[in-house]
A and B are shown apart, each in its own frame.
Chain A
Amino acid sequence: MKSKLVQYSIILIFLIIFVVFYKSLKDTNIYTPEVKINNDIPIFSTELLISNDELSSTEIFETDKFYLLNIWASWCVPCRDEHPILMNLSKNNKLTIIGMNYKDNKKNAKSFLDELGNPYEKIIVDKNGTNSIEWGAFGVPETFIIYNNKIIKKYIGPLNQELLIEIQKIIK
């Protein structure tokens, strides 16, 4: 004997599915990362590249300080081009540079830094690319300037001399 309860609950489940599908019809679903200028930075917790520790974003970003978040990968050739700029910025003690290692292999990432130097104070590992989606990134390299837990500026593509000067102006 099949109980009536089972039947009703199955029908109820299908009704819920119907409603959800119906509602999702009305939303547009073009899946693009939003440009989140002046938005709060996403909260997440992640592994660090060098020390392998777990850390949450609130421990990384403090208020009243300028941060630069750079998304990079050892396989990304433009990242190589912008690296001297980051090395240059890392000398500036008003700015803390955080790296986000995007879809990379740890060994390659480390040898990349051994070869070109490490401008990052901390490096977040984004193994499958989900963190960068939350940040609203389109790809690598991308750079965010953060102040008071808000994204105040976003650069898509490699940094260059002009942008270096611009960034230096911002943090003054």
Chain B
Amino acid sequence: MIYSVVGHYSLILGLCIGLILIFFSIQNFKNSNQLDTKILSFSFLQLFFVLISFLALIISFVISDFSNETVFNNSHTTKPLFYKISGTWGNHEGSLLLWLLVLTLFIFIFLLRTKNQPIKYKILTLGFQQVIIIGFFLFLIQTSNPFNYLFPVPDEGLGLNPILQDPALAIHPPILYLGYVGSSIIFSSALAATTLKMITKSWAVHIKKWVLISWIFLTLGILLGSIWAYYELGWGGFWFWDPVENVSLMPWLALTTLLHCILVLERKEILTSWVIVLSIATFTLSMCGTFLVRSGILNSVHTFANDPERGLFILIFLFALIFLSLFIFFFFHQTTKDNSSNFFWLSKETSILVNNWFMMYFLSVVLIGTVYPIFLDVISSQKISVGPPFYHKLIAPFLIPFLFAMAIGPGLKWIRSDLKDKIYLISLLIISILISFFIVKNFNTNILINTILISSALYLFFITLRDFFNKKYKNFAQNTAHFGFSLLILSILFNNLFSSEIITNLKVGETYDNSKTKIVFESINQKTEKNYKSIIANFNITNSEGINNNLSPELRIYNQPNITTSEADIETTLMKDKFIVINLVQNQDYFNVRYQVKPFMLWIWLSVIIISLGGLVSFLQKRT
């Protein structure tokens, strides 16, 4: 109980400091010879109070203090300690508190680490950031206070949703938030820089570190969520174009584009409008994602509570920020004569501009696919669902030129370039086409599009691979990221083309046999754990090559809350995953069995890690 009081008042103090900081910023902005030391100490104090509040919530969870409403709703005494702690941010209130913690942490680091930039710029960035922070404080205290008091104190809590009791999901929110919130720094900083008309090379060098940080965390955060969905939700895929996944992909696309624009701005003062718009878009898309999933407009595992009041608050806050940034953009930003039309057609700038337009296209496809059903529902009360075919049809063909541009673009020079070693480029192209043709011909029916797609990905793969051994080639970070991307596309394509699936119903002792695969349902075991009972089914699977596997998928019946989850059993090898999951069929004595062979699953995860490694290398690199 005492912890709730401490936590609650720390929050209120944090909010007050936010207001004080805004006051100081205005004062300091007027006579800005040097940064007021008070600003730094108050920022630290704000971080300190939010941290206290966060720790208080963690302790309440650890000691199972059910006088706290959040703990009561999301915890249970029988839960393992690890999930008691991760349960702190496994719910709406706690995750917002985490968001706030990262917000205050980042602005403090920003103030501490930003040198060689005008004082006015630092203060203005702080000001914009405080507007966001105060907004979140109000949201937290007003609509989703994590320290609400319950009386009489219940003996036992309601428990954490079992599908959230998972190691990958315990670290998924913090990592993703580091990415989202990092984009808030970019947002504030871009607004400040626009107001002061200092979107320049030196600003680009300075903000690049923040862009990279957010980008790395956002990439890893999405990866963790995807891995979790793969083995926990039992759908046997890694991306479903679910609205919740899409809302994390949209800021990623915007941020990736922004990263490329910043790379240009570092050398030449062009593409300034792109940079500003993308900085605004990345953060507002992150917020928009929060709005869509938290308000219950989109239903998902992330919808913790359907509360229209919360939705309304985020909505108004979000649009206040959008209109504020639009105002600043229209009012302060003047496009210089840097018209994109006077680029030479074959140069790095042009290739990055091409990349931008492709990225914007992908972004709008995802945006329309996600938001259109909401619009249609409001305007005509029709309910539709936009599924994977929509995205595949609209995205796949455009990936081809995109991949080629990615292969050739980085090799070009700034300002004006011509293609060197053409013979080499063409011969690699022919090799890629031949290889992919042979791969596709042996397996699949739809030859044309697959051949072209695979060849374009292979082409990028070969070119980036060669550049690793090319001593003249300096940009190791970029090459790593592009190499990872080619590997990702290849793995996804092979995964799609060569996956196979068997769905059948089996009783214990029965055997399923088609000419290629034999599945024997050998036995069933029961086990009782601390917070769930489990039914473990043992299967013996033999494939056409005579390789034998024992797989044991599991059904878990959690006691609190009373939910049954299926735990897939996955055998991961370098080349393929064997995935089996069982489901209970109501009032029947058989189980529904789904067995999938998914090639290159591991490579999908690995290539995303390689992509983010590219970002990390760039982050650690000193600018040459």
Contact = CB atoms under 8 A, between A and B. Distances in A.
A113 B472 CA distance: 64
A21 interface: yes
B447 interface: no
Contact of A20 (B296, B312, B323, B375): B375
Interface residues of B, number: 30
B377 A18 contact: no
Interface stretch (B137-145, B383-391, B489-497): B383-391
B2 interface: no
A35 interface: no
Contacts of A31: 299, 383, 385
A29 B298 contact: yes
B562 to A, nearest CB: 21
B322 A24 contact: no
Interface string A1-38: 01000010011001000101111111111110000000
A112 interface: no
Contacts of A10: 326
B315 interface: yes
Interface string B235-277: 0000000000000000000000000000000000000000000
B368 to A, nearest CB: 12
Contacts of A75: 503-504
Contacts of B328: none
B379 interface: yes
Among A2, A11, A21, A23: residue with most chain B CB under 10 A:
A21
A11 B291 CA distance: 20
A36 B377 CA distance: 19
Nearest to A11: B326
Contacts of B505: 77
A133 interface: yes
B326 A24 contact: no
Among B298, B312, B378: residue with most chain A CB under 10 A:
B378
Do most interface residues of chain A lie in helix, strand or loop, or is the interface mixed?
A: helix
Contacts of A7: 326, 330
A128 interface: yes
Contacts of B379: 20
B335 interface: yes
A21 B315 contact: yes
B295 interface: yes
A1 to B, nearest CB: 8
A30 B374 CA distance: 12
Interface string B441-462: 0000000000000000000000
A87 B503 CA distance: 24
B26 interface: no
A10 B325 CA distance: 12
Nearest to A80: B505
Considering the complex of A and B, which 8 residue pairs feature the smallest CB-CB distances, nearest first?
A77-B505, A25-B311, A23-B378, A18-B319, A24-B378, A7-B330, A20-B378, A75-B503
24 contacts: A2-B330, A7-B330, A10-B326, A11-B326, A14-B322, A14-B323, A20-B374, A20-B379, A21-B297, A21-B315, A22-B312, A22-B315, A24-B378, A25-B297, A25-B308, A25-B311, A25-B315, A26-B308, A27-B377, A29-B299, A77-B504, A77-B505, A77-B590, A128-B387
Interface of A: 2, 7, 10-11, 14, 18, 20-31, 75, 77, 128, 130, 133
